[in-house]
Amino acid sequence: MLTLLKLLQDGHFHSGQAIGQALRISRSAVWKQVRRLESEFGVELNRVRGRGYQLARPIVLLGDMALAKKGLSDVYPFHIYESLGSTNTEAIRLLEKGVEPPFLILAERQTAGRGRRGRIWQSPFGENIYLSLVVRIQKGARQLEGLSLVIGLAVMQALRASGVSGVGLKWPNDVLVQGRKIAGVLLELTGDPADVCHVVVGVGVNVNMDGEGCIEQPWTSMKLELQSYIDRNCFVYELCLKLREYLVRHAESGFVALQKEWELNHLWQGCEVVLIAGAQRIDGVVLGVDHVGALRLSVNGVEQRYSGGEISLRLRDDHRA
């Protein structure tokens, strides 16, 4: 599939015969690959009799050469896949096979991408960033404190550096633009958190997606915000630089050194919210986060702290709450 897409990336029409000659396959095989691109991968093609096939809109694939040329190999070793169930799942599989961290998994699409609380993460082919970074944690559980919040900071700063304005954070790990989700973080832990363990940092960023899809909440993308097509290779490199920077700061000084920066960028700071934990609903006002990243709420005038992967936070006037 990627070979055919690379051929079509120039935006020109290519006849079935020319494609067959370039790929050394029959006209029938060309037709089958075109059908698969459209039906399985969701890639839109223009078909014109006598001229052939053309991409209906640009697709810039993630490329080993392009990313290596930018210097990504010097930041993290990386692996690119045409399609995966989940980049986090593949990262764990490679870790269990003995691949030494840190390393990076990138995919053009996910067929079983997931977010927090078991939600599906929409993962159309060739449009967004689906990334998992595996890091080793060697200083015990303290090095995990506030880690998902730190990753959110890194993603936010990468988006700002790429020109997206109005980017902020929502506890615990959503990145929003004007109340619309543009990125999310999912961390998974393997090993013993009291000793040596590994964290799989999953990051999804809406880059060139502009269709409605089946997303349950308000969302946006870099393309929609900047009104231009984004080279995902450039953004991956910028994102990985920020991830490395913030992971180093966190490892050296802990979350407490980044706590104030996170609070300054929390879009719901001081807002009235509803916290949902299972069947429990708690009304409160956001005070901030503590030194380990737990949410601080004023509940009936008394400060309470909350943390955990099954907690959901909504603005009090949000009808979905």
Active-site positions? 116, 181, 314
* 179 CB-near residues (< 8 Å, 6+ apart): 218, 267
- Tell me: is residue 211 an annotated ligand-binding position: no
- Tell me: is residue 86 an annotated ligand-binding position: yes
From the number of C-beta atoms within 10 Å of its C-beta (0-12, 13-18, 19+), residue 320 rates as exposed
- Tell me: is residue 312 an annotated ligand-binding position: no
- Tell me: is residue 115 an annotated ligand-binding position: yes
List the one residue out of 173, 187, 133 whose CA is nearest residue 265: 173
HEC sequence for 116-152: HHHCECCCCCCCCEEEEEEEEECCCHHHHCCHHHHHH
**Cis peptide leading into residue 102 (ω within 30°):** yes
From the number of C-beta atoms within 10 Å of its C-beta (0-12, 13-18, 19+), residue 195 rates as exposed
- Tell me: is residue 87 an annotated ligand-binding position: yes
- Tell me: is residue 114 an annotated ligand-binding position: yes
Between CA 257 and CA 264 the distance in angstroms is 13
- Tell me: is residue 191 an annotated ligand-binding position: no
- Tell me: is residue 181 an annotated ligand-binding position: yes
Between CA 123 and CA 37 the distance in angstroms is 15
Token pair 């988006």 is found at 159
Task: Read off the tokens for 128.
Answer: 């967004």
* 15 CB-near residues (< 8 Å, 6+ apart): 51, 52, 53
Could you tell me which residues are annotated as the binding site?
86-88, 110, 114-116, 181
Could you tell me which residues are annotated as the binding site for biotin?
86-88, 110, 114-116, 181
